[in-house]
Amino acid sequence: MLNSLSLLRRFAGGTLVAAALALPSAASADTIRIAFGDIATVESLHFLAAVERAKEKGVDIEMTFFKSEDVAAQAVVSGDADVGVGTPYALIQKVKAPIRVFLQLSTLRFYPIVNAEAYKTWKDLDGQEVAVHARGSGTEAIMKLMAEREGIKYSNISYVPGAEVRAGALLQGNVKASIVDSPNRNMLMEKAPGKFIVLPLGDVKASDEALYANTKFLEEHQAAVDILVESILQTWRDVQANPDVVVEWREKYGLLADIPDDMAAEIKPYFKDLSDGKALPLNGGGAAAAKDDIAFYSLAGQIEGDPATLDVATFWDVGPVDRAVAKLGAQ
């Protein structure tokens, strides 16, 4: 039987590699070290802005961008980071890592896309390869869930971090079946009309990204965590009310200053799409989101056991969300 460390290494896929600065060996009492398992993109601008707003309230936050969510998770479990971004449900249960989800950042809004010359339906993917973001990611969970629902089995699941990278591979023909976010779905349809088909998902309800941390950190740094959660919820609510404000935050905080003009032009439509679709969890998820996640990730094979008998407290600490909603009011 694999011990916890070897299983964790299997999840992480190897040695920690930071995409930016190396993490400091220790954090001060006033610092939150966040491990982000992806590159910073237009889609993460509101999160980056929320971090800046938390800094304005006195919380020192250090962001490090890793090559994948599983590597970021290893950083949190090993103590090299305090807070991770992702959905580490399998890690919590199988490794029994002392971490808990404490805030839902986004719900799943992904689109399985296939090359129309190769595939037309889910059944056509039986025995075929598909590309997803990373092990343990929402994209992997969706594709596994749909395989179960459709009674098919993939020949292989390849891990290609970054929706824009997977979209590029689809355009070039290097990948025939994958899953991307709404901006890259739109880009594919615009650049190659008729070349791709979006496969139907039905009712899929779960977290795409969430914040999680070591239980000891959540207990010992409650004040700083609460400020971070409040800042994120207020930012989400501001985006819902006026999505164009993200452009103002980008300029104010100097966020993604080096992105090309064509990517900058995607900011307004992307956040308008989020606002119009009411896709931002304005109350942070909490117990209701935890139950939805347990049901979804159980069906997707990342959590074992009957969802009806699994305890929310095994996976979530709802305290930070409950305190923030009590202070800000529910929406």
Alpha-carbon gap, residue 250 to 231, rounded angstroms: 16
Give the model's pLDDT for residue 168: 96
- Supply the pTM of this predicted model: 0.78
How many helices (H) and strands (E) the chain has is answered by 14, 10
How far apart, in Å, are the Cα atoms of 204 and each of 122, 139, 292? 16, 12, 10
Q: pLDDT under 50 in the chain at which residues? A: 1-29
Dump pLDDT digits (tens) for 161-200: 889 999 999 999 999 999 998 889 989 999 999 999 999 9
Q: Which residues contact 169 (CB under 8 A, 6 or more apart)?
A: 131, 160, 175, 178
Give the model's pLDDT for residue 30: 67
Give the model's pLDDT for residue 236: 98
Give the model's pLDDT for residue 96: 87
Q: How far is CA 71 from the centre of its chain?
A: 13
Contact assessment for residue 246 and residue 274, using Cβ atoms and an 8 Å cutoff? no
Dump pLDDT digits (tens) for 20-36: 333 333 344 468 999 99
Structural domains for the chain: 4-108+206-328 (3.40.190.10), 110-198 (3.40.190.10)
Give the model's pLDDT for residue 17: 34
Alpha-carbon gap, residue 320 to 32, rounded angstroms: 15
Give the model's pLDDT for residue 6: 33
Ordered DSSP codes for 137-152: SHHHHHHHHHHHHHT-
